[in-house]
Amino acid sequence: MTDLLKINNLQIDFEIPRGVVHAVRDFSFSVRPGTIVALVGESGSGKSVTAQAIMGLLPAKARITGGEILFYEPNYWGEPIDLAKLKPESEQMRSIRGRYISMIFQDAMASFSQLHTIGDQVSEALFLHGNVSRKEGMEQTERMLDLVGFPNPADALGLYPFELSGGLRQRAMIAMALVCRPSLVIADESTTALDVSVQAQILKLIKDLRQELGLAVLLITHDLGVVANLADEVVVVHQGKVMESGTIEDIFGDSRHPYLKALFSAVPQFGMKDNQRLVPVTDIDFELGPLISDRQPWPEEANDDRPMLEVKNIYKSFRTRKGSFFGTGKQTVVEAVKDVSFTIKRGECFGLIGESGSGKSSVSKCIMRAYSPDSGMILFNDRGNIVDLAGLREKDLYPYRPKIQMVFQEPFSSLNPRMTVFDVIREPLVIHKVGDAASQREIVMELMRAVGLDPRFLNRYPHSFSGGQAQRIGIARALALKPDLIVFDEPVSALDVSIQAQVLNLMRDLQEELGLTYLFITHNLAVVDYVADNIAVMCQGRLVEMAPHSSLFKSPIHPYTRALMAAVPFADLHHPLDFEALMDGRMSDPAAWPGPFTVDPSNSQGSSLDFIEVDSEHFVLASSEFSGERVLRSVS
């Protein structure tokens, strides 16, 4: 046997109060030394459970009920060992775990103890498995940190995890998994929680390390873009079964299994035609009733070209007091939003993209007036009446509250678990005293049908729904008061791709049928390209570029937008990631942008920069000497 890992007919069951769930049924696949095998599937497909079984880290309720996990490492043992037969806490299993097979987890912050230094935690496995002296071990640890790209590995040894940036934490975790030079590393969604720019760097790192250390990697992910850029072989799993497996060329070039085909057509791609629709694995049938779709028409004189919402030069900063334990502490001012202006036309979907910490959510909260902007105007078109929401007091805001509604990122945490779905959707109607109990019930039933859910489920609680259904409940709640503008804050980033397609399509259909205006906030560029008409890009509190979706992604001008584009992994073998274009992770540092885009960090107002129109409706943040035509020519 030349396979490093060979899984034959693996079966894993979970005991739950109501019986037994077969989480993994008849899995078979193998990993050869030095290759990257991707285990692709959606949540609940059994991919993470398989990884836990290999590591001997299954939860207490799970049991391996059949099959074998053969691990063959000539340096360790002359013949293959069946890991499925080993007791998880046995000495033999422990001598393999961490030494020959290790794991990179999803959430680096949670996977480090905050009370132990990086050096301590990274070196731990080394001292456990290897017979090394303290000094030698720390040197090896330092070299490993150097290898994963720590700028000052010697200093990093003494740091605590919370002192590192997200990207460095992820690198430290990779170092922790690799410090014993294992022959197999399991990467469980290890880039899913990261921003695209950091994700691209980590992907590059995994690729480089594979070469350097001769690693085999079992990559567990649901992101086909990541798979296309890293994997040699692909195993597609669905509901505990292997659907299809083969080399990456086979799978991506000629996917035969309907599930995989469905998965591909559910992923938004760049440059889809405006009328092209995503094809979800299962479609949602929805039905609009008169109680929702009968909307008061706009008065005749209001039917002009004035925009739905106009945000003008808003600023928002936050004061934080750190280390108050040590006395007064140092007060820091974080400028979350700096001079942001944009307009949302009536009936369009306006996309706002940016990485975590870019200030995009702060902008949405200013529009919702959950925050009050420090300065600037938020002009809302209330059917011909232009109101500045930024200047209104809480009491005066009340009549405008129903007209702008919001859908949140985490479907479950935005629904009260102690309220039935009926109460959840009805709550806005109660707050704004719409109709009596009987008519409210009618409206709620209609809303359920409008998002494709059966009104018979109204008495259930949110936890009995899937993530996608819960998000649709959130949309139904947002529709209850017949708003004109809906703010979507990362509405699909917590959902699997096939569910994501369902929800995106539903959103598009509702917008069309009801004539709604959307503000769509996300960090996923392909998603925003699919739903949005106009897109603005935010970085470090500033808007850097704004354009119609067709021209933004075809001819991005601002270096940040370009770097962002370059960092998106495509689910397409002919379009691999260009790792050279990543600017070494400095792309989100305004001071590192080349002229004429450089932002002087000492000049926090950024007043020397202007929003310059380089093409029709295509704006970019640059200094005034910037000539749009020249750049456009150089781009094309």
Give the C-alpha separation, 208 to 202, whole Å.
10
Residues 422-441 that bind other proteins (CB under 8 A): none
Burial pattern 280-296, b for ≥16 Cβ within 10 A else e, equals: bbeebebebeebbeeee
CB atoms within 10 A of CB 16: 9
> Which pair of tokens denotes residue 563?
């770097």
Residue of 6, 25, 47, 97 interacting with other proteins (CB under 8 A): 97
Cα–Cα separations (whole angstroms), residue 241 to 23, 28, 37: 9, 9, 17
The yes or no reply on residue 605 touching other proteins (CB under 8 A) is no
Among 23, 175, 176, 621, binds other proteins (CB under 8 A): 176
Q: Which two tokens stand for residue 634?
A: 């150089």
CB of 272 to other proteins, least distance (A): 37
Question: Does residue 187 touch other proteins according to CB under 8 A?
Answer: no
Which residue number, 218 or 631, has a Cβ lying nearer to other proteins? 218
Q: How many CA atoms lie within 13 A of 436 on its CB side?
A: 1
Pick the closer one to other proteins by CB: 95 or 493. 95
Q: How many Å apart are CA 106 and CA 170, to the nearest integer?
A: 9
99 or 426: whose CB is closer to other proteins?
99
Stretch near other proteins under the rule CB under 8 A, chosen from 95-103, 266-274, 431-439, 461-469: 95-103
Which C-beta is closer to other proteins: that of 95 or that of 239? 95
Ramachandran category for residue 253: left, alpha or beta (phi over 0 → left; psi -120 to 50 → alpha) = alpha
The DSSP annotation for 487-553 comes to EEESTTTTS-HHHHHHHHHHHHHHHHHHT-EEEEEES-HHHHHHH-SEEEEEETTEEEEEEEHHHHH
Q: Are strands 618-623 and 542-548 parallel, antiparallel or unpaired?
A: antiparallel
How far apart are CB 616 and other proteins at their closest, in Å?
40
84, 103, 147, 174: residue in contact with other proteins (rule CB under 8 A): 103
Using CB under 8 A, pick the residue from 77, 105, 270, 400 that binds other proteins. Answer: 105
Q: Out of 17, 19, 75, 89, point to the residue binding other proteins (CB under 8 A).
A: 89
Closest listed residue to residue 191, CA positions, set 163, 151, 227: 227
CB of 17 to other proteins, least distance (A): 13
DSSP state of 106: S
Q: How far apart are CA 40 and CA 52, in angstroms?
A: 15
Residue of 110, 370, 430, 635 that binds other proteins (CB under 8 A):
110
Pick from 26, 107, 423, 615 the residue near other proteins by CB under 8 A: 107
Nearer to other proteins among residue 110 and residue 430 (C-beta)? 110
Nearest to 384 by CA among 293, 267, 299: 299
Minimum gap (Å) between residue 122 Cβ and other proteins: 10
Q: How far is the CB of 327 from other proteins (least distance, A)?
A: 5
Least distance (Å) between residue 185 CB and other proteins: 11
CB of 562 to other proteins, least distance (A): 27
Closest approach, Cβ 416 to other proteins, in A, equals 23
* Binding residue for other proteins, selected from 98, 280, 483, 590, defined by CB under 8 A: 98
- Least distance to other proteins, CB of residue 66, Å: 24
Residues 331-390 within binding reach of other proteins (CB under 8 A): 332
Q: What is the 3-state secondary structure of 224-250?
A: HHHHHHHCCEEEEEECCEEEEEEEHHH
405 alpha carbon, distance to own chain's centre:
22
- Name the residue among 483, 526, 478 with its Cα closest to residue 504: 526
> What is the signed CA dihedral for 200, 203, 207, 210, rounded to 10 degrees?
150
Interface map 297-336 toward other proteins (x if CB under 8 A): -------------------------xx-xxx-xx-x----
* CB of 180 or CB of 406, closer to other proteins: 180
Q: Binding string to other proteins for residues 114 to 153, with x set by CB under 8 A, is what?
A: xxxx------xx--xx------------------------
55 or 587, CB closer to other proteins?
Answer: 55
Q: How far is the CB of 184 from other proteins (least distance, A)?
A: 12
Closest to other proteins by CB, 216 or 504: 216
Whether 514 contacts 288, CB under 8 Å: yes
CB 62 within 8 A of CB 243: no
Distance CA(31)–CA(19), nearest Å, equals: 33
Smallest distance from the beta carbon of 48 to other proteins, in angstroms?
12
Beta carbon of residue 422, minimum distance to other proteins (angstroms, whole number): 33
Asked if 163 interacts with other proteins (CB under 8 A), we say yes
In the complex, what is the shortest distance from the CB of residue 128 to other proteins, in angstroms, rounded to a whole number? 6
Interface mask (CB under 8 A) for other proteins, residues 43-82, using x and -? ------------x-x-------------------------
* Strand, coil or helix: 88: coil
Minimum CB–partner distance for residue 108 and other proteins (Å): 9
Nearer to other proteins, 9 or 332 (CB): 332
Residue 478: in which H helix or E strand, if any? helix 467-479
31-39, 97-105, 196-204, 336-344 -> range binding other proteins (CB under 8 A)? 97-105
Q: Would you state the structure tokens that stand for residue 621, as one six-digit string?
A: 């943040």
Cα–Cα distances in Å, from 398 out to 389, 395, 401, 459?
Answer: 11, 6, 5, 30
Do the Cβ atoms of 170 and 118 come closer than 8 Å? no
The residue count for binding other proteins (CB under 8 A) is: 38
Would you tell me which residues interact with other proteins (CB under 8 A)? 55, 57, 89, 94-99, 102-103, 105, 107, 110-117, 124-125, 128-129, 160, 162-163, 173, 176, 322-323, 325-327, 329-330, 332
